[in-house]
Amino acid sequence: AGFCFGVNNAVNQVYKLLDEGNKVCTLGPIIHNPQVVDELTARGVCIVEDPADTPADHVLVIRSHGVPGSVYDTIREKNIPHCDATCPFVAKIHRIAATHSAAGATVLIAGDPTHPEVLGIRGHCQGAEYCFHDEAELEKLLLSHPEWDTAPCIMVAQTTFNKTIWKKCENYLKKVCTNALVF
């Protein structure tokens, strides 16, 4: 079926780095596609789970899912050459979450709490953040925090989140939280 824009961009950045003669490693698999990962491995691309494990002569590629802010801190502290291939749509969600959480808003994230993209979003929040899968989980979450009906909160989603479920969650949130912003 092909790749989404962000994944295609990340994979192309890895190929470009390789074609320029760079040694490359990716922070986690660049894509959830074993054939592409195998092809890149055959071209010498290695996968690391921690930026600190990047070999000294390699460029580290941050995959399209993005990473928490703390990972960028590690990359800067250790002066690791890197290429940030975070999908621009994901990076926008990071900026929204960071900005609003720094201003005191609670961040509600629609998505899979174990998915790398959601972990990245959570890692850009400076205050309270919660993740939910569907309208029922959102309802349970909101009922357990009645103060959110007037306190600032925002809702964002993993980019691959189901649009129908998102719309139901958005409608429910707007009924319950008068100050909620939805992005």
Active site residues: 117
Pairing of the two strands 153-157 and 106-110: parallel
Q: How far is Cα 87 from Cα 172, in angstroms, rounded to an integer?
A: 28
Q: What is the DSSP letter of 147?
A: G
- Segment holding 157, helix H or strand E: strand 153-157
Q: How far is Cα 175 from Cα 161, in angstroms, rounded to an integer?
A: 21
Q: What is the DSSP letter of 43?
A: T
CA distance to 31, 75, 153, per residue, from 10 (Å): 8, 18, 31
Dihedral sign for Cα atoms in the order 47, 5, 134, 181: positive
Q: What is the DSSP letter of 33?
A: -
